[in-house]
Amino acid sequence: MAFDQHQIDDDELDAMIASLDPLRGQRGDTALTADELDLRDRIMAAEPPDTRPVLHRRRTARMLLAAAVVLVGLVLVWPWAMPTPAVALTPAPLRVSPVAAGVNEVIDMAQRRLAENSGPAATERRTHAMGWYLHLDEAADGTRTATIAPEITTFSWEYDGSGRMLVVAGVPYLADGSTPPEGELTAPEPGTVLRDVTHGPGGFDPPPVEGDPGQSSDDMRAVLTAFGVPERPSASALMIGIDGLFGMWTMTNAQHHHLLDMLRAASGLEVVGEATDRAGRPVIVLGADSTLNPDYRHLLLVSGETGRIVGTESVRLTSLDRLPAGSITAYTLWETE
């Protein structure tokens, strides 16, 4: 799809890309999360997949922040420079129903569920997640269809830098939630292998910690600190840190219990309500406005059945060109196997 360079100058484009970044000003020199690294890998897709490392450490804050943002610019900003009919570009927000419970009651409930259900016996260096990126198709008559093309990522790794990342296409759907008509979609067929990369020792940099996170509250605070979460985090900063952890490990129920306690103590946490997530599971939705980028709000999804943290979503609070306020800009779901 062509991009008309004369309809927007460099300064305007820089400002639009910067305003789309939900992590703007936050990361410093900390390691990138798995989601951010995956974004950067997509930008470099012209390089043969089997020669790219699965994960890399941030070299400089400027370079890797730009890498995470450029893909958003490629997917969300560039097509808008061309005049097209109005179309929804992102998934519909979750349908949330209010609940007559506060933060303490919701977290108490989740922790009871954790105690009643068995989770992984030990921390696993393996993750399984479903996420999405925006895919725009243009028909011959110039109309566009916004297609949500989920990707399912399974990642396993060792501290010697070896590991494997398998990414397959999920079931695509239109931004309004409907199924695309047969033959009118260029997204990959569900189950298509998009990337299958295996690395030997030294193939990527493991997280900046020694060994797997322990089971105590202090252990969880220590690993979050290693991921750049401050000692007394806001709820939004803690949510981003949890997203980073879950990109590397599958945690035990005890570890989820401690993370929920940390969320309880964090500033800015609210109960949004109950909903069915994008994998069809009942969840309680917790929310927090970003303390570092006022354009964004973060949502954390807690299973109503197991009490485990099973997803995150990012919501843009302000409009930008054709992206209206309230747009969902990303989601990640765990434990969908």
* Contacts of 169-176 spanning 24+ positions with Cβ under 8 A: 169/194, 170/130, 170/132, 172/135, 172/147, 172/148, 173/147, 173/148, 174/145, 174/146, 174/147, 174/148, 175/87, 175/88, 175/89, 175/90, 175/91, 175/92, 175/146, 175/147, 175/148, 176/88, 176/92
Answer yes or no: are the C-beta atoms of 279 and 303 closer than 8 Å. Answer: no
- Say how many C-beta atoms besides its own lie within 10 A of residue 249's C-beta: 19
Cα angle 55-59-60, degrees, rounded to a multiple of 5: 130
Could you report the per-residue pLDDT of 27-48, keeping only the tens digit for each? 433 444 444 444 444 433 333 3
CA distance 29 to 19: 20
Could you report the per-residue pLDDT of 43-72, keeping only the tens digit for each? 333 333 333 333 333 322 322 233 333 333
Max CA separation in the chain (angstroms): 60
Rounded to the nearest angstrom, the gap between the alpha carbon of residue 94 and the centroid of all alpha carbons in its chain is: 15
- Say how many C-beta atoms besides its own lie within 10 A of residue 253's C-beta: 20
Give me the residue label for tokens 């062509």.
2
Lowest-confidence pick of 74-78, 84-88, 119-123, 325-329: 74-78
Structural domain boundaries in the chain: 5-334
User: Residues 91-96: what's their mean pLDDT?
Assistant: 93
**Confidence at residue 297, expressed as pLDDT on a 0 to 100 scale:** 96
Torsion, CA 252, CA 270, CA 150, CA 35, rounded to 10: -60
User: Residues 205-229: what's their mean pLDDT?
Assistant: 93
Residue 234: strand pairing partners: 267
Q: At what angle do helices 253-265 and 235-246 cross, to 10 degrees?
A: 160
Residue 331: strand pairing partners: 313
Percentages of the chain per state (helix, strand, coil), in multiples of 5: 30, 25, 45
- What percentage of the chain reaches a pLDDT higher than 90? 54
Question: What is the chain's mean pLDDT, rounded?
Answer: 77
Answer yes or no: are the C-beta atoms of 273 and 282 closer than 8 Å. Answer: no
Could you report the per-residue pLDDT of 163-176, keeping only the tens digit for each? 999 999 998 888 77
**Confidence at residue 145, expressed as pLDDT on a 0 to 100 scale:** 54
Cα angle 329-332-333, degrees, rounded to a multiple of 5: 145
Answer yes or no: are the C-beta atoms of 187 and 41 closer than 8 Å. Answer: no
276: pLDDT strictly greater than 70: yes
Cα angle 73-174-16, degrees, rounded to a multiple of 5: 15
Continuous segment of H or E residues that includes residue 328: strand 328-334
Could you report the per-residue pLDDT of 16-30, keeping only the tens digit for each? 444 444 444 444 334
Residue 297: strand pairing partners: 289, 315
Reading the block at residue 52, the tokens are: 């790219």
